[in-house]
Structure 1
């Protein structure tokens, strides 16, 4: 892949609904790719990009920072989303300063199976973030990054966990978040675009006075 190709793919995914992406994954037999409903927007409304994974765990420690966390954050690149996993409860993994630093490196948002803070400022910076909860409590001294760019597990919608590998694709909107395995990214996108185009035609026909049954007979079920 190249940077131009990555950006074009991401822009195309931003133009389709997550619901259509989930439907396509179902038809391919990938029935457990949806993430838990708790993972919802805290800033922005749409998220799309390649997964850059970061994992951590609750651990008491002394000192003023987490060197591996900084190392992990510095590795992210253009059109990537930081995907955070860990067993933290009540504390934040991700906030404004990390978000701004990642944005400067080309990152296009974050998906956090845990907590975030600085929500007002994330919105001010127009950084799309989906997370499980928000909290004012920092992670320093409480939670540490243990690995990055390795497989992680996030809470699932129809399964207990969904595996996210580096280079998988993440899409999220008002309906929820979905993970597309890397080898299916192009195939899923093309079919989701087809479904989206069909839905546009159905809405136009409904607006023109056709009944729903007429539309479904003409365009099929979507």
Structure 2
């Protein structure tokens, strides 16, 4: 499969990441909602391991499954996984569908070390993580459902990657995520921007934030709030 085709947006990925990280998830969600995509927010429990962490980037999707037998073939496949990440050649978000498992840590320091060497700039894990102190120390952004010391071996393992996955949603049971969809996260949570909309959503959100900033300055100046609302409409 030529995965690289999923990571072409018309704007270089590093520039997309920089511009998205100057925004905030609430504004991005409002734009998606207005465009007819209200179900792009991930579950409310998916939060950064440190409050000030943010992430933005294209999804490299991973599906994991319970593995009570400790299947060595599944376990060793991760070598190929990180090689496939590296081959794409742009910053990525390690995005993990953990099959609703709630027992183990599905991400940790070694995943981050391997990931960073393969182009990963953050992780969204619909499950658990551990080694949190190392992740915080290294300022590596990880969003997860919970933290636990329990390791995944004999409990959970990689199944496949670069396939459509399903992460728990805020308004729907799951949100589909495809390779190359764009993830943006801050303290409020994570939104998924479909690949075909990445640039359009960015530009519309930048315009929205500019209007909000203008209105905010006028509110702060003591101007009549009724007139400001009339001027700018719904904010």
The interval holding the TM-score normalised by the smaller chain is over 0.9
Q: Residue 21 in 1 paired to residue 42 in 2?
A: no
Quick check: 1:32–1:162 contact (8 Å CA) kept in 2?
A: yes
Contact between 1:69 and 1:144, CA under 8 Å: does it hold in 2? no
Q: CA deviation at 1:2?
A: 8.3
Give structure 1 stretches of 5+ with no counterpart: none
The aligned counterpart of 1:5 is 12
Alignment of 1:6-155 (within 5 A): 6-43=13-50, 44-62=52-70, 66-77=75-86, 78-87=90-99, 88-155=101-168
Residues 138 and 3 (structure 1 numbering): CA distance in 2 closer, same or farther, change over 3 Å? farther
The secondary structure found in structure 2 opposite 1:108 is strand
- Displacement of 1:74 in angstroms is 3.4
Determine which of 220, 227, 230 is the counterpart of 1:207: 220
Moved over 6 A (4+): none
Query: RMSD across aligned C-alpha pairs, in angstroms?
Result: 1.8
For 1:56-89, what per-residue CA distance to the aligned partner results, in whole angstroms no more than 9, with x for missing partners? 1112124778112332233224321000012221
Give the alignment's TM-score, normalised by structure 2: 0.89
Structure 2: any 5+ residue segments left out of the alignment? 1-7
The question of whether the paired residues in 2 share the 8 Å contact of 1:74 and 1:102 is answered with: no
Question: How far off its partner does 1:148 sit?
Answer: 0.4
Counterpart CA distance in 1 for 2:191 and 2:202 is 13
Name the SS for the 2:120 alignment partner.
Answer: coil
Distance in structure 2 (CA, Å) of the matches to 1:189 and 1:201: 19
Q: Within 1, Cα distance between the matches of 2:79 and 2:9?
A: 26
TM-score (norm: length of structure 1): 0.94
